[in-house]
Structure 1
């Protein structure tokens, strides 16, 4: 099976310091792909490069076999993302916040209604975001990432700040969207239990290098636990 996302020999330098070093990963259609590592490991730089927010020093990124850095080959709407803490205009409703992005993308209000329905926020669409709970803001961020009907959605720490019920709701939402919308997810987190509960494949990164990439099933069937692999990645 051909990967829907492939990163080949990706490296990035900042002032002669190598931040990511010859990274190779493959993500397949329908994966909920865990991408984990300690702070400063290179996760954010890798993700921002995949999103074309950064230009690599060397290497290539392919989505559906198309090089995202070659003019005429890439389609920005193929990938959506929730990166860092989700920010919105707090004085506007959830609906109006999404409409601002929809207008930029030349999308209809019907599409906004669709994504609000997907994340179960239709009943709260007219509330100001300042009155949203943390879990509602996280779901609104997922809705924003889904506006363009992307093939791949990147979620960076999607359960940050959520209580146990919010964490469960987010996990259920991701599973539902992956199953019903045939969406591929890249799930970035440092919470091993969450990655283990939701992801079918995982890659660990440390000091800019991929330490291991494998199916969750294979990792958990080995003599090491996910925590063992992580501790090895961070040198403990």
Structure 2
């Protein structure tokens, strides 16, 4: 599979002996929506800045469109839209005029402005002065700016910050549309795991500057095919000892036991055993999912 971004053995830091990124390896396939997940300070933004050529990469560890960062920029900026640092807009000008200035500076077609404003839901606010924009509206305009060059690749660092739930859904649907209908490759970081889970095809998890996982969602699911199932009952402590005789079980609270299970049939079997023992199970919650997998991957050993 062709990769839009390739990162090989990337090590980076601002001070000797204090690395921020440690032997980072990543492949962002062409046509993918690639989620980049990690806690604050894990190295996400630093990696994205290196991809965009904002930090020097002396070892040429990063390639975009098959070219090293040092070779592809500045010409490559016409093929890439990014939202890394929040762009500086003129508050006394309208959203439309702010985009018009960017088009003039970069030699881009101004006819694209109305299209991208419509895509991000700002058509009605196009002539409104920026000082009247809410935080969410400003974030939408920043995404419109990333789209103005009709890019093949979008690099977006926390693009839904400041958006209400409805705005998040709209931006998610927009990114999926750009990916599926226009073939745009999207490299996106976010701390909102549930939102990322609804759109990505591939992902990487980074912790303390090290990649803990990278690959497709299917590969991640296969890695964690044995999931933890939560059984809720009264007096859970009475049943943990006998479960541990045959299963990997953990008492989570007075009403919850977590059990590692391998199939729905096994879940049903455990529930039957508990019921026959008089446990009075009143709820079963399937484990797994991106949030739980993320916690497993990033927990301290």
TM-score (norm 1): 0.91
Whose relative contact order is higher, 1 or 2, with alpha carbons under 8 Å and at least 6 apart? 1
Query: Which sections of structure 2, spanning at least 5 residues, go unmatched?
Result: 228-287
CA distance in 2, matches of 1:71, 1:181: 22
* Counterpart for residue 214 of structure 2: 213
Q: Which has the higher mean CA deviation after the structures are superposed, 84-93 or 162-171?
A: 84-93
CA distance in 1, matches of 2:15, 2:71: 25
* Counterpart for residue 223 of structure 1: 226
* Counterpart for residue 234 of structure 1: 298
Matched residue SS, 1:198: coil
CA distance in 2, matches of 1:233, 1:72: 34
* Counterpart for residue 143 of structure 1: 144
CA distance in 2, matches of 1:118, 1:181: 13
CA distance in 1, matches of 2:208, 2:57: 17
1:74-95 deviation per Cα after TM superposition (whole angstroms, max 9, x unaligned): 6222221112445422221011
Q: Which has the higher mean CA deviation after the structures are superposed, 120-129 or 177-186?
A: 120-129
Higher-Rg structure is 2
2:7 counterpart of 1:7:
yes
C-alpha contact 2:60 2:70 (8 A) present in aligned 1: no
Matches within 5 A, 1:7-26: 7-16=7-16, 17-26=18-27
Matched residue SS, 2:70: coil
Q: Which has the higher mean CA deviation after the structures are superposed, 78-87 or 48-57?
A: 78-87
* Counterpart for residue 189 of structure 2: 188
Q: What is the deviation of 1:70? A: 2.6
Matched residue SS, 2:19: strand
CA distance in 1, matches of 2:167, 2:123: 18
Matches within 5 A, 1:44-55: 44-55=45-56
C-alpha contact 1:115 1:147 (8 A) present in aligned 2: yes
C-alpha contact 1:5 1:27 (8 A) present in aligned 2: yes
CA distance in 1, matches of 2:184, 2:23: 27
Matched residue SS, 2:155: strand
2:124 counterpart of 1:60:
no
CA distance in 1, matches of 2:143, 2:59: 31
TM-score (norm 2): 0.72
Matches within 5 A, 1:80-99: 80-85=81-86, 87-99=88-100
Change (3 A) 1:120 1:183: same
* Counterpart for residue 159 of structure 1: 160
1:18-74 deviation per Cα after TM superposition (whole angstroms, max 9, x unaligned): 111111111112211100101111111100000000012534222221222137896
Change (3 A) 1:232 1:87: farther
* Counterpart for residue 255 of structure 2: none
Q: Which has the higher mean CA deviation after the structures are superposed, 48-57 or 58-67?
A: 58-67
Report the count of equivalent residues. 236
Matched residue SS, 1:52: coil
C-alpha contact 2:64 2:72 (8 A) present in aligned 1: no
C-alpha contact 1:102 1:109 (8 A) present in aligned 2: yes
